[in-house]
Structure 1
Amino acid sequence: MYQISELAAKVGLSRTALLYYEKQGLITGHRLDNGYRIYSDKDLQRLRLIQQLLAGGLTLQECKICLEAKVDRQLLQSRLQALDEEIEQKQQSRQLLASMLGEGDLKAWHANLDKLAPDAHLEWLIKQGFNEKEALRLKWLSKDMNEHDLYIADFMKVFETLERWGPGSEVDTQKALSLVPSTAVNILEVGCGKGLATQVLAEHSEASITAVDNEQVALDRLAQRFEQQGLSARLATICASMTELPFSDESFDLIWAEGSAYIMGIEKALMQWRPLLPKQGCLVISDLVWKTDNPNSESVEFWKHNYPDIQPVATRIEQMKHAGYRVVAHFPQSKQAWLDYYGPLGERAKELESAMPNSAALKDIKHEVDICSQFAAEFGYHFFVLEKI
């Protein structure tokens, strides 16, 4: 026989809990003449059985039902299903926490969050210690905070000797400029990179050009080249994010963005840059689009992870009209522009294979070259010449 304090110590419960169990009819105490309550070994064993049932996820009331009647299999199956769902959720939570500590892969999590809440995702990355330039790269390149520094270093090593950082050609740039319906006086180029398009804009217009990029090294090279050519008076370079351009409304009559607006999202760029133009000011954008309604599954899978917002031309045109633009003209980028980028990139990747055998960045670049060579007929860049209305 056990006094209530002794029973509480054996089962690890409080005196208050045992009195509640007794009130619910789960155990039965007897009061002695001296006023003490005592419990039998049967009560002790029932409590231990109840504790096992509670550990299985049953409520106290459900434990009582199990003790007093045949086990309700439907009840147990329901509890088992709920427990399985809870375990799955807990496992996902554990995987996320482990990944954030560097013990797993965060790519899928980043990709999903960027789809659900892109602005909040970018803001959160910056709060983790990345500057905006690094955060934008993290979104579109490594998608893993823990591997980001190494990935970016390898990525930049591949591109450091290449003239082009994306598909493009002087011929396409000149063609797009010729389709702009008005003569530009002040041009803003967003994401100018090494300035290959900037050079064409300067050679085929008399406009002042403000070139914006988040790579100061690229801007320095551009400024140096313009100075050597005697064009520096027409060029201003600004190292800034395309998401927060430091200019007042209606500052430019032409905004130029070749292959760069995707970083912040085409629809967001269309809306956010529009105030910088006066009425009938123009915006020229090139963006990756589907050329077919039935792309190969490999193409779909690749772009689902690397550019989930890739759209057909017709969809982009509707988005542009909805954002308040008139589509003046549009045309596909030339095949030569595609080859002039992926040809040298593929050769550079082969050149570095032996020196970077375990590089995730090099592996991804090689895969991109393979996909973009094999299925080049299914997707490609497309120029859009737009006028603000």
Structure 2
Amino acid sequence: MAGNRGVVYQGKGIVEVKDIDYPDLVLREGPGVPKSNVGRKCEHGVVLKVITTNICGSDQHMVRGRTTAPEGLVLGHEITGEVVEVGRDVEFVKKGDIASVPFNIACGRCVMCREQKTHICLNVNPERPGGAYGYVDMGGWVGGQSEYVMVPYADFQLLVFPDRDQAMEKILDLTMLSDIFPTGYHGAVSAGVKTGSTVYVAGAGPVGLAAAHSAQLLGASVVIVGDMQEERLKQAESFGCETVNLAMHDNLGEQIEQILGEPIVDCSIDAVGFEASGHGEGAEEQPAVVLNTIMDVTKAGGSLGIPGLYVTEDPGAADEDAKTGSLKVRFGQGWAKAHTFVTGQTPAMLYNRDLMKAILSGRANIAKAVNATVIGLDDAPQGYSDFDKGASKKFIIDPHGSLK
């Protein structure tokens, strides 16, 4: 049997590449696995040889110690791979298929899955609706920043690419289908972006850049991206976005007015989440600042897409309320302007097939937009460190050297 190695969370600020168990078609006892999920048989699953697996900003929240993630958790929910083992109950997926794995784990059987709300599947996580690989409070499913990973409910979940050679040619784009491209796209759709829209995107990390590119695909006339780091803003400018450096300016409306001639936009997207910083020089963490700011600058009757992550437990929060996810949001502002808020995990399967076709046709160039950068598995700890320091890159881990 082949060995296996993976990227393991070892405590605040520490990730290491370690030997881990080779996956089989059972969810074994391990870090973060609820007792009621231990021993769960997955003959409906497959084992993948991982081709690409990406470092995500959501992973960084755990590594920074901003969640209750247990030590020993194998990280990674953005997975693309080749099927090397097929469970007894798998009917349509076969060995040798190359496929994208939606980061939401979903059974395909419950009422939420039947309504295409795969982000809140009722059967994969006994603790709460919704599951994911290698993530705190998401059912204990082993992460995919590894050489091999098990994927349950394969017939339902896997997005199999139609042509192997074409898939490998486009792999840096296709690897984004597991999470950030559907997540950014969901943010834009939720915000109501359409032909001619003016759009503000808070955050120029990979999800923010994916949201900006998605807004362009949906026909936005102007996309404005705000961030605190100049390098990230330059990346947004590289594919046609306007930008605002929020470290230099504390009044977003004034900056938008300089670009559009008025201090409001049609739609806004929060791609930052709960680790948000206040605007202007020397500003400290303000977890509700993005939500309050986008309410200020979004027109009356507009929608706010909120794919940025918010948590129920944040042990590193600056105040006691924020430690339980209670933020000082000016909800009355949103009510008065009749805003629509769309929050929660993205139902990746709702979008990934269409986005795959946009990639394969050359319409979408998501790898370029997010500056996809390939590293080896042993380089993952340095990738985490560089990403944490604000590197304007989307780090793609290549565990087997498949992309050389």
- Bigger radius of gyration: 1
TM-score w.r.t. length of structure 1: 0.35
Richer in strand (by share): 2
Richer in helix (by share): 1
Q: Which has the higher contact order (CA 8 A, sep 6+)?
A: 2
TM-score w.r.t. length of structure 2: 0.34
